[in-house]
């Protein structure tokens, strides 16, 4: 009985730790699909390739961690509020790729120092 209780408490502890990130990933999937005309499934490498291919990102003062396309491409290129969009197509990431992308964003998008895999 003590072993089952220990396993149950361990499971609850792990769930408590990862549940906020699972909620964020679920929000990413739902918002990207809802706010994109079309979407594709991608991974971290796809994200980096598309991110580096577009060079005219704009950062708005009131959204410092977000990036948008220049005027005229504002809604086509977007990394904002868990929505990832390149050339008008939403990119839905798997759980682990989304975690890497969030880390990449939190670290300031690599500021063009990114040259390969972590």
Written as tens digits, the pLDDT of the chain (118 aa) is: 788 888 888 878 877 777 788 889 999 999 999 999 999 999 999 999 999 999 888 888 889 889 998 877 767 899 998 999 999 999 999 999 999 999 998 888 765 554 554 4
Identify the DSSP state of 62: T
Question: Is residue 38 included in any domain, yes or no?
Answer: yes
What angle separates helix 95-106 from helix 44-53, to the nearest 10 degrees?
A: 40
pLDDT at 21: 80
Query: Phi then psi for 73, rounded to 5 degrees?
Result: -120, 15
pLDDT at 74: 66
| Residue 44 lies in domain | 26-110
105 neighbors 112 (Cβ within 8 angstroms): no
Question: Is residue 85 included in any domain, yes or no?
Answer: yes
Cα dihedral: 89, 60, 43, 49 (round 10)? 80
Question: Is residue 44 included in any domain, yes or no?
Answer: yes
pLDDT at 83: 95
Question: Is residue 66 included in any domain, yes or no?
Answer: yes
pLDDT at 106: 84
Q: Could you tell me the two tokens for 58?
A: 């704009």
Question: Is residue 30 included in any domain, yes or no?
Answer: yes
pLDDT at 3: 87
Beta strand 67-68 pairing with 78-80: antiparallel
42, 49, 57, 77, 79 from 72: Cα distances, Å: 25, 22, 12, 10, 16
Identify the DSSP state of 58: B
pLDDT at 15: 74
Question: Is residue 56 included in any domain, yes or no?
Answer: yes
- Quote the number of domains for the chain: 1
Q: State whether the Cα torsion 23-26-28-32 is positive or negative.
A: negative
Question: Is residue 4 included in any domain, yes or no?
Answer: no
Question: Is residue 3 included in any domain, yes or no?
Answer: no
């Amino acid at each position: 009985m003590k072993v089952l209780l220990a396993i149950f408490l361990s499971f609850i502890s792990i769930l408590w730790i990862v549940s906020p990130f699972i909620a964020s990933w679920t929000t990413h999937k739902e918002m990207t699909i809802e706010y994109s005309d079309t979407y594709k499934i991608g991974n971290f490498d796809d994200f980096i390739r598309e991110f580096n291919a577009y060079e005219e990102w704009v950062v708005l003062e009131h959204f410092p961690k977000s990036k948008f396309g220049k005027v005229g491409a504002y809604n086509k290129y977007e990394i904002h509020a868990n929505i990832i969009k390149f050339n008008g197509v939403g990119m839905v990431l798997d759980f682990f790729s989304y975690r890497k992308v969030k880390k990449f964003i939190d670290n300031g998008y690599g500021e063009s120092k990114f040259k390969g895999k972590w």
